[in-house]
Amino acid sequence: MANKTPKIAVIWFPGQNCEDESKLVCESAGMKADIIVVNSSVDPKILEQYDGFFIGGGWSYEDRIRAGAIAAKDPIMLKIKEEAKKLKVVLGVCNGAQILVETGIIPGLKDKVQLALAPNTNPKISGYYNTWVYVKHECKKTNAFNIAGVDEVMHIPVAHGEGRFTTTDKELIKQLIKNDQILFRYCDEEGNIDEKYPVNPNGAVYNIAGITNKEGNVLAIMPHPERASWNKQLPYYEQHSFEENEKAAPCMKIFESIRMYLEKRIK
């Protein structure tokens, strides 16, 4: 009997703007995806029919107070927190990552907020910064986002003003390293870690670009894998033939991993 096709809910808060490409990349990886517009008429129980959730980028509720803070208090996030405990997949990209951190789902070691995504520290630009960077996959254990064999180094865009992973808890980073929760770190093209700009585009502690929860089914990542999942999206795409441009780029493996993980759960 064939595996069921995983269903992903693409969560769209007011002010976010990545819902269409988020839906497309999930479908291209072999999953079904629906855009769920968050408003007062949405019953959070609707999420029970989905196997995973994609919270994309943008500026939810205009990022008032601080990025992701208001969306994190929405009842639908309480429901996603419940569903995550059932080991359903939750992927938060950029503003979605900020929301997951503000809810405490990431890093998820205590039932409270333990991290912040603070304003970028960048010698070139104050505030919003948009560029292409490299990230290095360093997680040794298999989780929902690397089961397909994610490349060691991936080229990926960042676009944010508050993307600097930071914390006042000095022991927390040590715990995240020990737990193998740091999935991606900013690096150069060869995979070398350099804490300085431009390799580290926002001053993130330990060059952190993406963190999972301890169980490995939730990921908060500041760079945008959905914007680098086909060769034609990459900066050097014109160097390839049309056929090569249409092929999947390394970031697609993140979404293929999600599909593979969920297929095993729902078969």
Question: Pick the catalytic residue: 155, 224, 251, 256?
Answer: 224
Name the nearest CA neighbour of 191 among 209, 213, 203: 209
Question: Pick the catalytic residue: 19, 226, 251, 256?
Answer: 226
Q: Find all residues with CB under 8 Å of 136, minimum gap 6, and list them.
A: 152, 153, 184, 185, 186, 187, 191, 193
Question: Pick the catalytic residue: 94, 139, 187, 251?
Answer: 94
Distance CA 231, CA 243 (A): 10
Q: Which residues of 122-161 are buried (b: 16+ CB within 10 A; e: fewer)?
A: beeeeeebeeebbbbbbbeeebbbbbbebeebbbbbbbbb
Query: Are the C-beta atoms of residues 212 and 92 closer than 8 Å to each other?
Result: no
Tell me whether residue 83 is one of the annotated catalytic residues.
no
Tell me whether residue 94 is one of the annotated catalytic residues.
yes
Q: Find all residues with CB under 8 Å of 153, minimum gap 6, and list them.
A: 134, 135, 136, 137, 187, 189, 190, 191
Query: Are the C-beta atoms of residues 74 and 29 closer than 8 Å to each other?
Result: no
Q: Which residues are catalytic?
A: 94, 224, 226
